[in-house]
């Protein structure tokens, strides 16, 4: 089927092309339409030189006009305003990921106390390993007693007034020493976020470099704190992922089933939705309504959580959430927190789809709110699924249009799974890197953004990396983009360079390894730390690089900051709002090398971005003498 150039320019995904054409036929608005209506976007906002931190303004600096304002009303320069705005983005992102971790610690505590409504401890080995890290006794103790002590110890990490955070000590000693030298070794997760908000209040910190250092400190508390807590406790409660096969793209929706999309980020909800969807009475109700069964699929990072533990299909990434509704086949869109468009409410009203919000932190216009709580988790989940089953009868068959597009994928490469694939030791990977068969490792992550042709930034960059023998590890929406084009199959190694191809064939793995949701970038940090420790070097010495080709959220700003703070060169595919400050731009792209041993680069062309990463990897190889 041929589509006009306007549609083809929006995405590389044929399922998206079909749904955008259908949306146009139906007169429905999507995120791409709203983006086009916003053009041209505010130039001051793009440069980061607008400030609303007090009510004397709003103020904006005009770097292009000699006679325009060069200071805010309080006297803040562009450098100060940009630095304050940037680290407030880090605070927002760190708060989101860390709250995710806090909620999982809460669920673990309730489970340990026997107060949760259906959760259980599924990975006792990981529980014991984490307890050992925290110095918690395990001998002759029940898993519930150990879990209670662990949950309380993890809880304490959030409110600490003095550090260190336990998981930061997983980093190589040289890395920790550098953090301490620069004063960015975090004390407590919440403390560093709060301090950003204090420092950026009018009349507090007005040194752009000092502001950025606090931003890096809070980001480390996210990556090596809140996000790592979320990953590790999820594994304890729901099981540590191991490789599993599944499918990805809108074609995973089924016309003859009750279709439920789990969308958002926290597996506390989605795990129970899955359990409820398997309830025999609810399945019987679905069949009585004329459906063949209940089909649960995932969207965004919730999708990544449930695909890697259960093989539940992925319906798509961030930019596809509206398109899923436009299929007319979704009986319930169930959401919790993060990356959920408020536009969904109006769109669901054009179809029969029931839009169900569940978190007290996140209510949406047009949504039915069915508040979820861990204490009654399974009972509430059954009520939610029952609502979706009941709604199946209201589906309008002539409005249903599901693209056939879907692709098989292999997902679930946790740190433990990677070690298992390597035979229990990092030695095969180290040998492959030393020999040059694997040139290096790239972590490619992040969101979608309508400023970039959908999935092209992700897929174009990753393809170029594997062609040049760079093993890719991925999370979040990038992972879903790669799954949809077949890069997460062992057969995709045929498209890799000869060295990487040989390694993948020998191990039976894809050249692009799915490591989970966006909080699971902490798994990538753990792998890097383990490799660095094995080689006796710092992370900044390794032939590794990071990229976020289509990033858009505050979480991505925090992620980028903690990846660079960990010593990993990182390329961004969309321009952050910092170019209005020469000082901040120079610190992030150059001076950061002297502070943390890594820096950012910005490159919108995915092939050129991959080239920057490969150049960095080659320099690190040369410095290591390999």
Nearest C-alpha neighbor of 353 from the set 410, 313, 315, 407: 315
For every residue of 140-188, DSSP letters joined together read: T--HHHHHHHHHHHHHHHHH-SS---GGGGGS-HHHHHHHHHHT---S-
The pairs formed by 604-608 with CB atoms below 8 angstroms and a separation of 24 or more are: 604/452, 604/457, 604/573, 604/574, 604/575, 606/456, 606/457, 606/458, 606/459, 606/460, 606/461, 606/464, 606/549, 606/573, 607/460, 607/461, 607/464
Phi, psi of 287, deg, nearest 5: -70, -35
54 is in an annotated binding site: yes
Token couple for 489? 């199959």
Token couple for 374? 């861990």
Token couple for 335? 């959401």
H or E segment at 616? helix 606-624
350 is in an annotated binding site: no
Strands 570-572 and 600-602 come out as: parallel
| CA distance to 22, 296, 386, per residue, from 379 (Å) | 37, 17, 10
User: Who contacts 50 (Cβ-Cβ below 8 Å, separation ≥6)?
Assistant: 42, 44, 58, 59, 60, 61, 81, 85
- Tell me how far apart the alpha carbons of residues 344 and 601 are, in angstroms, rounded to a whole number: 34
Token couple for 393? 């009868």
* Residues found in the chain: 626
Strands 244-248 and 407-411 come out as: antiparallel
518 is in an annotated binding site: yes
HEC letters along 42-99: CHHHHHCCEECCCCCCCEECCCCCCCCCCCCCCCCCHHHHHHHHHHHHHHHHHHHHHH
- Tell me how far apart the alpha carbons of residues 259 and 332 are, in angstroms, rounded to a whole number: 7
Torsion of CA 328, 330, 332, 334, to 10 degrees: -120
301 is in an annotated binding site: yes
447 is in an annotated binding site: yes
Rg for the chain, CA atoms, rounded = 24
- Tell me how far apart the alpha carbons of residues 91 and 85 are, in angstroms, rounded to a whole number: 10
348 is in an annotated binding site: no
50 is in an annotated binding site: yes
Contact 241, 258 (CB under 8 A): no
74 is in an annotated binding site: yes
| CA distance to 7, 361, 412, 573, per residue, from 11 (Å) | 8, 32, 26, 15
Contact 110, 236 (CB under 8 A): no
| CA distance to 2, 280, 281, 331, 380, per residue, from 386 (Å) | 40, 12, 10, 11, 10
409 is in an annotated binding site: no
- Tell me how far apart the alpha carbons of residues 124 and 130 are, in angstroms, rounded to a whole number: 10
Contact 182, 596 (CB under 8 A): yes
- Tell me how far apart the alpha carbons of residues 353 and 471 are, in angstroms, rounded to a whole number: 40
Binding-site residues: 42, 50-51, 54, 59, 74, 265, 301, 339, 447, 477, 518
Binding-site residues for [Ni-4Fe-4S] cluster: 265, 301, 339, 447, 477, 518
Binding-site residues for [4Fe-4S] cluster: 42, 50-51, 54, 59, 74
């Amino acid at each position: 089927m041929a589509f006009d150039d306007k549609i083809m320019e929006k995405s590389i995904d044929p399922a998206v092309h079909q749904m955008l054409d259908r949306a146009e036929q139906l007169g429905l608005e999507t995120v791409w339409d709203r983006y086009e209506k916003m053009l041209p976007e505010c130039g001051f906002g793009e440069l980061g030189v607008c400030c609303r931190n007090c009510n004397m303004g709003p103020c904006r600096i005009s770097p292009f006009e000699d006679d325009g304002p060069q200071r805010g009303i309080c006297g803040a320069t562009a450098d100060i305003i940009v630095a304050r705005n940037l680290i407030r983005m880090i605070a927002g992102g760190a708060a989101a990921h860390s709250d995710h971790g806090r909620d999982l610690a809460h669920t673990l505590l309730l489970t340990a106390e026997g107060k949760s409504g259906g959760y259980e401890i599924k990975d006792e080995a990981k529980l014991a390993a984490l307890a050992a890290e925290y110095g918690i006794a395990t001998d002759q103790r029940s898993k519930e007693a150990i879990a209670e002590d662990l949950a309380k110890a993890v809880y304490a990490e959030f409110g600490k007034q003095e550090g260190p955070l336990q998981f930061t000590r997983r980093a190589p000693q040289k890395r920790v020493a550098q953090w301490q030298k620069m004063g960015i070794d975090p004390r407590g997760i919440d403390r560093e976020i709060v301090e950003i908000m204090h420092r950026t209040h009018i009349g507090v910190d007005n040194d752009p470099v000092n502001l950025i250092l606090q931003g890096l400190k809070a980001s480390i508390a996210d990556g090596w704190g809140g996000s790592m807590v979320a990953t590790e406790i999820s594994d304890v409660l729901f099981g540590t992922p191991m490789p599993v096969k599944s499918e990805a793209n809108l074609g995973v929706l089924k016309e003859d089933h009750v279709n439920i999309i789990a969308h958002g980020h926290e597996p506390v909800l989605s795990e129970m939705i899955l359990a409820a969807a398997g309830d025999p009475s609810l399945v019987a109700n679905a069949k009585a309504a004329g459906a063949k069964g209940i089909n649960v699929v995932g969207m965004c990072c919730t999708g990544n959580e449930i695909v890697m533990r259960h093989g539940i299909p992925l319906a798509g990434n961030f930019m596809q959430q509206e398109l899923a509704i436009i299929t007319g086949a979704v009986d319930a869109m169930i959401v919790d927190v993060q990356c959920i468009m408020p536009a969904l409410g109006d769109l669901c009203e054009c179809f029969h789809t029931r839009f169900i919000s569940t978190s007290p932190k996140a209510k949406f216009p047009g949504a039915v709110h069915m508040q979820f709580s861990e204490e009654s988790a399974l009972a509430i989940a059954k009520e939610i699924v029952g609502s979706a089953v009941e709604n199946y009868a209201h589906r309008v068959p002539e409005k249903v249009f599901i693209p056939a597009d879907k692709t098989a994928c292999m997902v679930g490469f946790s740190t433990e799974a990677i070690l298992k694939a390597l035979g229990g030791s990092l030695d095969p990977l180290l040998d492959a890197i030393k020999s040059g068969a694997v040139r290096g490792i790239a972590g490619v992550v992040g969101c979608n953004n309508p400023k970039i042709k959908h999935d092209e930034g992700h897929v174009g960059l990753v393809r170029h990396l594997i062609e040049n023998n760079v093993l890719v590890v991925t999370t979040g929406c990038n992972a879903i983009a790669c799954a949809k084009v077949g890069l997460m199959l062992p057969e995709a190694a045929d498209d890799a360079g000869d060295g990487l191809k040989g390694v993948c064939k020998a191990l039976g793995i894809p050249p692009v390894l799915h490591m989970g949701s966006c909080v699971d970038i902490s798994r990538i940090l753990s792998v890097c730390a383990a490799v660095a420790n094995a080689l006796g070097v710092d992370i900044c010495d390794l032939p590794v690089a990071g990229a976020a080709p289509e990033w858009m959220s505050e979480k991505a700003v925090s992620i980028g900051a903690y990846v660079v703070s960990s010593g990993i060169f990182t390329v961004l595919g969309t321009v952050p709002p910092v170019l209005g400050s020469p000082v901040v731009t120079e610190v992030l792209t150059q001076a950061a090398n002297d502070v943390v041993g890594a820096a950012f680069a910005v490159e919108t062309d995915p092939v050129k971005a991959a080239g920057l990463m490969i150049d960095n990897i080659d320099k690190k190889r040369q410095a290591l003498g390999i």
